[in-house]
Amino acid sequence: MQRFRTLLQWFCGGALALAISACSYPVSRDDKASLEYLLGQKLMLDLRYFCHQHDTEQVCRQPLLKLPEALAEVLRRGQIGGVILFADNIQETRQTMTLIDDMQQVMREAGLPPLLIAVDQEGGRVARLPEDMLVRFGGNMALGASAAVKGTTLATQVAELQAQRLKQLGFNVNFAPTVDVNINPQNPVINVRSYGESPQQVARLGQATVAALQQQGVASALKHFPGHGDTLVDSHIGLPRVDHDRATIDAVDLLPFQQIIASASAPALLMTAHIQYPQLDSSTFVTDDGRQIIVPATMSRAIITDLLRGDLGYQGVVISDALDMAGVAQYYSPLQATLATFAAGVDIALMPFKLRNDDDIEEFWRFQQQLVTALSQQPRAELEQSLARINALKQRFLADVDHSHSLQTRIEAFETRDRAFELALQDHLASAATTLIYDTGVLPLTQPHWHWLMPDALRCQAALHALAAEKSEYSADCISLAHLPSLPEESYWRDDAVIIVGDITPAHSLAELGGMDDIHTARPRATAAARQAWLQQALTGRSQVVVYATLRSPYSAADFTDYADAATASFDYSAFQDDQAGVTSPAIRALVQALLNNDWPGTLPVTVSLPAELLKQ
C-alpha cells in the first residue's frame, strides 16, 4: 500500500495540474486502509474554529486563519475529501489563498486527491466573503423580483461573477443556489433566500445560476432537496415537517429540482434537507430516549436513492446538509447520523464531526474507526459507486487547478479585478428589484424632511447618506430600533415630514449568521414582535404620510396596512463602509431613488395578503 501511495504521489501529486484527469485514485477491494480512504473521501469537515489550549468550560471561538499541523494531519491521515470554510476563515485575500493553498499542498504531498473546498456564497444574507472581496448582491428574491423585466440575465451575471471570484481564491464548490419554493409567508429560514413562490420561475432562475457557476468552473450544489419552502421550523434548531400531498410535492417542491436535473447544465452536487416528508417516506426510527420519529429526508433511502436517483435520474454527488444541525443532532449521535446518511445513499456527509481542539482530534480518530468497523460489514459495491461519483466531480472541477503561478501573482490578479463592475452590477440588481407593494396616492414623496425608523444604527447611517446624496436640500433624522427606545415625544414629529419605516422581519436564521456555532453568540436585539408593536404604537394616529419599506421579507407589509399609506419591497438591506462615501447600501439607495421618482422596476415574486381596496390601487 505504501509503495502504491508513493507512486500515486509521484504521478498525481507533482503533475496534478496536467494529469489529474488520468488519476482515478483506485481503491483495493480487500485492503482495510482502502476502506479508510473511501470513508475519508466521503467526509467534508468544517475547520471554522480551532483552539490548541482549550478550557472545556469555554466554547472555542478562535477563527482558523492558517492551517496548524494538527489539522493538516487530520486531512492527511484521515484522507479527507473536502472542507467547508466560513466567514471566520476568510478575512482577506492573502490569508484566504494561503489557507486554501496550504490545505491542497498537504493533499498533494500525501499523494491524495485534492480537496473539495466549499463555501455558502448564495448572495444576500447568506454570503461568507467580506464585502471588499466580493459584493453580496441582493439575493435570490431580489433576482426573482427583477425577473419580470430582466428574465434570467441578472441571475446569470451575478452567478458568473461569484464563480470567477471564488475560483480565483481557490474555492471549487458553492453551496448555491437555493431552489426551495417559498409558499409559506412564515418560513423562518428560507423566505428571501428563495426566488419566489412560482415553481417555474424558481426553476428558470435556479437553472441559469447553476449553468453560470459551472461554466466558470465552480461546482454548484442545488439545495435543499426535496424542498424547504413550506416550513415553520428552521432545521438548524428543530426538525421541520411538510405535509403536502404527493400532487403538491410534484408540482411545487420537486419541480425545480426535476427540471434543473434534467437540463443540459445539471448540478454537480445536490444538498439534502433535514426535513420530514411523510408522503415520500413515512418510515420511522426510534431515538435513544424511546421516541418514534419519521425519518428526515437526509436519512431516507426512499427519498435519496429511490426518488432522487431512481425517479428523477440524478447522477451527480449528493451531499447532506450540515449534520450538526439540531434537525438531526437532537436525534442522532455523530456516528449514527453519518451511518444513516450513507445508508440512505448520500455520497458526502457535511460537517459530521466537530473539530475545535486537540481533544476533539483524538475523538475524531475513534469516530473514524467506528465508521470503518460499521462500513466493513456492508457490501462494498455501493460505497465504491459513491467514490466514483466523487472522483468524477473532482476530475471535472479540479482538473485545471494551476499551481504554476506564484501566490503573489494570483493575489495581484484578484486585487486588480474590475471592482467597479461588481459595484455597478450590485446597484443594477438593487434598482431592478425595488418593488411597490401598494400606494394610496402619496408617491412620489415631496416632503422636505424625512423621519427614518430603521432596524439599527448602520441602516440609519445608510438611509441618511442615501437621501443626502439624492436630495441635499432635504433634511432627515433616524431612530434606531435595534434596542427599542422610548416612544418619541409628540413634538418630535414634524408636520412637513414623511415617516419611512425600514423593517427586516423575520429575525436572522442561523444559516444567515453562519451556522450552529452562532447559536451561542447571537446578540440580543428587539424581537420582531416587539419591534412591530413599537412601530404600530408609534404610527397610530399619525397625520404624516407613512411609508412602510420592507428591506427583507415583503410579507410583513400585510401587518401595516392600517398604519402605512404605501409599502415597498427591497428584499435586501446589506450596508457596508465605503472609504469615500461612508456607510452605503445599494438597496436603500435604490429605495430612496424610487420614492422620489415613483419608479418601481420590480415585481413581487410572492403574494402579500392585502385588503381588497389596496389590491385595486
Cβ neighbours of residue 137 closer than 8 Å, sequence gap 6 or more? 123, 124, 127, 158, 162, 425, 426, 429
Quote the CA–CA distance of 283 and 302 in Å, as a whole number: 9
Side chain identity at 37, as an amino acid letter? Answer: Y
Look up residue 117 and give its amino acid: I
Is residue 321 annotated as part of the catalytic site, yes or no? yes
Query: Residue 307 is which amino acid?
Result: L
For residue 539, how many other CB atoms are within 10 A of its CB?
A: 18
CA triple 78-374-239, angle to 5 deg:
90
- Cα 150 to Cα 326: distance, rounded to the nearest angstrom: 39
Q: Which of 18, 103, 105, 94 is nearest to 402 (CA)?
A: 18
Alpha-carbon distance of 12 to 5, in angstroms, equals: 10
Q: Are 134 and 422 in contact (CB under 8 A)?
A: yes
Write the CB contacts of 365 (distance below 8 Å, at least 6 apart in sequence).
none
Question: Using the 8-state DSSP alphabet, how is residue 273 labeled?
Answer: -
Element (H, E) at 188: none
Short-list 295, 342, 353, CA closest to 320: 342
SS3 75: helix
Nearest in space to 168 (alpha carbons), one of 217, 231, 116: 217
> What residue type is 100 in one-letter code?
I
| Active-site position among 46, 321, 347, 360 | 321
Alpha-carbon span 343 to 203, nearest angstrom: 29
Cis peptide before 455 (omega within 30 of 0): no
Active-site residue numbers? 321
